[in-house]
Amino acid sequence: MAKRDLATLRHSTAHILAQAVKELFPKVKLGIGPSIPDGFYYDFEKKEPFTPEDLKRIEKRMAEIIEKDLPFKKRMLEREEAQRLLKRDKERFKLELLKGLKGKRISFYATGDFNDLCKGPHIKSTKEVEAFKLTSMAGAYWRGKETNPMLQRIYGTAFFTKEELDEYLRNIEEAKKRDHRKLGKSLDLFSIHDEAGAGLVIYHPKGAILRKIIEDFIEEEHEKRGYQSVITPHMYRIDLWKRSGHYDFYRQLMYFFEIENQEYAIKPMNCPGHVLVYKSKIRSYRDLPIRYFELGTVYRHERSGVMHGLMRARGFTQDDGHIFCTPEQLKEEIEKAVFFALDILKTFGFGYKLILSTRPEDYIGSKKNWEQATEALKEALKESGLDYEIAPGEGAFYGPKIDIQIADALGRLWQCSTIQVDFNFPEKFNLSYTGRDGKRYRCIMIHRALLGSMERFLGVLIEHYGGAFPVWISPVQVKILPIAERHMEYALEVKGRLERENLRVELDSRNEKIGYKIREAQLEKIPYMLVLGDKEAKSGSVALRLRSEEDLGQVKVDEFVSKVSREIKRKKN
């Protein structure tokens, strides 16, 4: 089977999952069973929850169905016949799906005695599924709506070979070890407390240091590229959100409150504030492009079921930028923003994937403006020689966008960076500039966030490195480990020397065995450990150890300082 048919293989395996469940639990009602990027799932309505033992039984039955080498047979039924079949089997969710299908003839697929409403395509036979695994269970509302019945979702995955499956399962286990929520606690970086509120992140000292290092780096890089920093409020009157369109298109994710008979909303985005800065005075074509930047904290009413540590929070900070330019400057500004984002991601050691997202069903502005904006993004990508994919209908409500997905060490993709062209805000807020001829012209606005949200980026960064950060961003870069009390004076001398070089240093002064201190420092994933004993104190050196457990032996203090300083300057990953 060709590599491009992986989605077909997985969808077919979902079909086999449904057949196995129906054979083992005949009263279960079927939902849907699509392929997804990491595998597949199928939704079922069942009174009692599935158990881990049930999952094992289902996997065993799936293997039996696969071994039977049952062909996938497509059947085209008249709509009335399809309806009778689904009513007979009391498949109410399938009946609901049937109502939304067009045409007089409806597609079903059968394997043995099992029939499923499905447009396909499928593999030829169940025997083609050579490597699969059911991975987890979760609850899921029918069609994703909270007012609909709660179904039970069984997740699984399938690959063409057992080797690919084994590698995927190893990555799952590795991902569990790298879970940023687990590492955030063990490395003392951050916490989230029910008493404070779900989705609200509290940074501990080491987490705050990590975040500040990244923020300082980002601010410096923006300054180099001609951005001006601004600071905007955390809330605005409701009138501003109505004018921007957020009230109509985004209010379900916003927080509202009233002060002195005036309705306000906490900001879910930073753009209206940047617009007001631009509008604060008359602009000339000579002023453009104008690039504003803000590490702006926003709040969004995410549902409790979708929040996930730092990856999906209710309060988060964006490295938000807005560019106001002329039509002639648009393509160049898009290219600059894209390459700026890629430079930043490379510095942190990430791969990436570019996606062009086009007009969604719900949008503001004219189709003409959308087409202009989309074409500008396409041209910028083509002329930059960058490969990209198109995601139809995935644009923001006010404009198309280039999304840059981060590829981490396990090959997982995370949505962080985004660059969006907006013709609509300038119209809504009458954003203009004076041209060479003295006439007023409408400017174009680019929304862009390079890391996305600091919270999500930090979560991805933690999992990418498994908490073992490059030395330049490590909250603690060096830990000094004196062997005995008599070595403390020399340890303090070394600590002072390193701190004068602006290295982030901790001294473990506890009266513990040196082996215990080393193990503790390794668990804390500190890049460098300096063990100090009689020999080191006498020779003015340190015994250098790495968190990888490698022992590099004795080095002079100045030699160590030079080595680490070079590494930090290069931002070596």
Q: Catalytic: 102?
A: no
CA–chain centroid gap for 347, Å, is 18
Encode 307-374 in three state secondary structure.
CECCCECCEEEEEEEEEEECHHHHHHHHHHHHHHHHHHHHHCCCEEEEEEECCCCCCCCCHHHHHHHH
What DSSP assignment string belongs to 122-155? --SBGGG--EEEEEEEEEEEGGG-TTSPEEEEEE
Q: Of 401, 456, 479, 517, which residue is the catalytic one?
A: 401
With contact defined as beta carbons under 8 Å apart, do 549 and 529 qualify?
no
As a whole number of Å, the end-to-end CA separation of the chain is: 38
With contact defined as beta carbons under 8 Å apart, do 358 and 374 qualify?
yes
Q: Quote the CA–CA distance of 285 and 293 in Å, as a whole number.
A: 20
Q: Quote the CA–CA distance of 438 and 440 in Å, as a whole number.
A: 7
With contact defined as beta carbons under 8 Å apart, do 155 and 50 qualify?
no
Q: Quote the CA–CA distance of 15 and 23 in Å, as a whole number.
A: 12
Q: Of 54, 116, 319, 320, which residue is the catalytic one?
A: 320
Q: Of 180, 300, 336, 464, which residue is the catalytic one?
A: 300
How many C-beta atoms surround the C-beta of residue 558 within 10 A? Answer: 12
Residue carrying structure tokens 């198109």: 390
Q: Catalytic: 318?
A: yes
Residue 270 burial by Cβ neighbours in a 10 Å radius (0-12, 13-18, 19+)? buried
Q: Catalytic: 271?
A: yes
With contact defined as beta carbons under 8 Å apart, do 157 and 168 qualify?
yes
Q: Of 447, 456, 464, 525, which residue is the catalytic one?
A: 447
Q: Of 322, 331, 336, 525, which residue is the catalytic one?
A: 322
Q: DSSP assignment, residue 284?
A: B
Q: Quote the CA–CA distance of 11 and 69 in Å, as a whole number.
A: 17
User: What long-range pairs does 508-514 form, CB within 8 A, spacing at least 24?
Assistant: 508/479, 508/480, 508/481, 508/482, 509/482, 511/485, 514/481, 514/483
Q: Of 19, 152, 318, 329, which residue is the catalytic one?
A: 318
Q: DSSP assignment, residue 111?
A: E
Q: Catalytic: 320?
A: yes
With contact defined as beta carbons under 8 Å apart, do 61 and 24 qualify?
yes
Alpha carbon distances (Å) from 343 to 218, 349, 392: 11, 10, 27
**Which residues belong to the active site?**
271, 300, 318, 320, 322, 401, 447
